[in-house]
Structure 1
């Protein structure tokens, strides 16, 4: 049995090591305490770039637990747009062991990204071994926002100054140029040196009478001396001898203690304006000579519609003087029957800026009234504001008489054709009834074709008669209260019977829409819209009709997927005899009467009519009537 006989051991004095450990712990605790009370965010990372310490400031800012930030966890808080540039700087500094500074955005506890200023300093052991980095971050969001705003404002200010067509420059209290824009160099004819040259070295100054001005008489010197703004017109002579007329505005600049620190001067080159004034006087004389030599009546008015100029033709025609017809005096030469409409349209044009266009009668100096076509256009400034009106009145009396003769012929011919066409239509119907059971297909088809042509001729005669009634003012409206949707349904069934190959879909946002109108005439408008939709939609068999109420108006629209209408033609489509010209349109028959009549019918109901169309995609014709509430 082995029994230990003795024991051997060693004893070492570790008092110093224990004291060092205590000192180290105390040092670390002191560092942590100092770091936690610091008004910045503090972090530490090892030589492997991984962070192992964050102070309380970091935790308070991010709102995350320290465990979430250790290692590379802190990266989650860096803004995605700033992550790559920050990591590039961060890792490069570890590689070179050099201090770094950078600004980036870090997510705060409320998920808001804030700008922070970061600084990192390398750390070394006692023996010089690199052991990592210690860094800090400071929230600079407010100051950066202010700084960025100041930079933005300064850049905007400089951009504004540089973009100004007028010469702009500033100087200090000694008159040395501090800032200038491109227009200033154009005016001076040279590029001065800032902070060195005096503004007076660029040119000489003369008053408008040609007298040389001294330095003390210049607006900039007066602004610096007296602390007041000055505006002066004078002539400058550049170093190359060129002279320019200018209008100068000089104003002193102050610091926050109201002390003059310099001045700013804006110089507008008015040489062209001066030349234009001279030319304007010559041009006005030429304009008056030209206007007076034209047989057409020419007149102008101010932006409010007060007439202030007439050419010689107006005086020769009316036998009146300027004082008799100035402003609104022109109304006295307008025929009494045309006067109200002339005034109404003129007031509407002045109020809206729309063109003035009217046919009315003017009394000649011998008392005879003659038809005139008066047109006026607004002359607008670049801002769109009306500056004046320019108008003409052209004698169309002979043309008007020819039109009246044509209208009389159309009316007479329509009436004369109506009776025989009605008789022919009756005989055709009798023949169709008589040969209804006939086996002669050619005969029945021929009678059908003749009947279709008679129907077209009847429709044309009806339109010509309506046209005649419109021109003579005898188009009567038999108004009554009726359900618009019911009328639309009846028209749709009628068209479906005539054109069974088309699908006409009617939808309404209101079950009952009651209007006070001529039921037959409104139906005529709808029939016109539908027949046009069918005519101009050879490759599409679907037509949509909608009705609705909006803003106390009953709105009806007819939409097709046909050939469409050019934008330019849409503005004229409702004019009498107007037909759209084009390869596609020439294949479709018509006289351009139907839409004109439809427009007149709707306007006589105090309604509105219009079209929206895209070439090649289809059209939407619409009209609206006041609702009987």
Structure 2
């Protein structure tokens, strides 16, 4: 007996057989009918549909045989699957492959065998359809063809079975995916409905197909009303084009986008929304539309608008020439940016006995002229009327409708003019009411805390407006002193334009933010704002000191000397000027050796000198330049050989040759000073770039003059070295006690 070898493709053949999931399955009529037909056509007692696996041949269908399988080693079919066509064994005893086979020699006594391999469309022989007899015989040609046809029918049944199995598997997979998709959609819906933001989804037709409950609650409309383009009924008419163009561009690019617009809330109020759209893609990468969210940013927009208003008012006040002009512009800017129709200012009289009507007022309409004329004739003692009460209480007042308020002294005039809601705001400076602003509108209105907060923030302007009063008084005083008139006028004009304008804005805005009028700030923000405000207050103090320049020249200025750490002093100067240097990409260097750790000086005055030097260095040094602040010790004898300002030599005899000086000096790589201009240094109102009254570089021309006088008050001196085109070094010599 010969055992059939394994087919070359045995592993793939066995894998293919497993895919049909037919081994050890129950009998099936479709296969049994084919087996019966084979036995009948071939007139044999036995007919089989046999499938050959790794160890056996298993009979899917059988006629004339009780066994369900036999060993593969003794099976005739294991030889048949090696062929591409029918295997016929007319007499097994005469065939050396089978003569001693137990199936031939044993009880079954097989003598005749004819089998056709069951070949799949992929070319795998899975088994056979065969007929068997116990006597030798031959098959006719029609019988052979019939057996081949039956083989093809068996394979067709196997293929049908496999496709049914695959269809069943696919159906189960689709059902699983559909269930997973429904579960995913339900999770998304639950998540979306519980989200605090408005969520929507649209499709390739740019039609919205989903809104979460948050959206529907916000708009007060049903899903059926909103889907498609129905939601656009709530879009503010003035924002439709803006939204549409942004959305269309993002849709065409299949890219994320953000856009702000106003959407009508259920109560009819339009709220500012920040919409963010993110493109959706199918698993295959096909664009499917957008998933979007909307966040109500109305409060943020209000803060931005409030901040812009405050900046506008602050700058306008700063630019005003006098106190009443500042009040006028403050009232006008507030009315223009809000719903208030009319605004007026009340100020304490010179004797502080009553509140008087200021010339500053503003009206959006001419119909209030008579109301204004009547107000000009009034005064309010303390605690009388809105101005008088606020003067004492220092608190805001809101009246829903003054025309019907019996406590309002001008109720008849308000009624005649149509004025109703009223807001009174105190403007404070150093905890003193310097002005009361009163605003009116033509409709009654409940108290609006946001509007109160907005206009109350303008109380920070009290310091600036008070400064306007001080400036006005200074100008009047200077006019009476002819010998100082020109000097003071030039000084105030220069300093006001050069220093006070940016400083007042910094102080006002940082003060408002620190008081958290526009919302809470975190610790780091508070720290930075405090640094800004502190630096601003320091500069304001220095500006006020400049107003005392006459006292310095008269020798009446007092110094407040203390032990000062030299390195800390220099580092403070560097920190103040650093922002300006960074803006020009300049390098700031600090070189302070430990030879002198501390010195007794007026810290603020010496810091003022260093800041003058450093500011000039930054100003006259090009982008990318280097500025160095350093210190060193030198004997008094070297001072005589140093380039000193004009009119300094007559002071040199006071300096002992063996005295010791700490020299703080600022060096730069700037433009330098031409030799023919150096005699102008340290003189009041002199600038080396002056030409017919025009200045290339901003400045008052007082910085070096003040530095010189402050150094001399300390018993020290100033000096300089400079070469045009190569840079300059400015020094202050301070005696070491």
Q: TM-score, normalised by structure 2?
A: 0.26
Q: TM-score, normalised by structure 1?
A: 0.30
Larger Rg: 2
Q: Which has the higher strand share?
A: 1
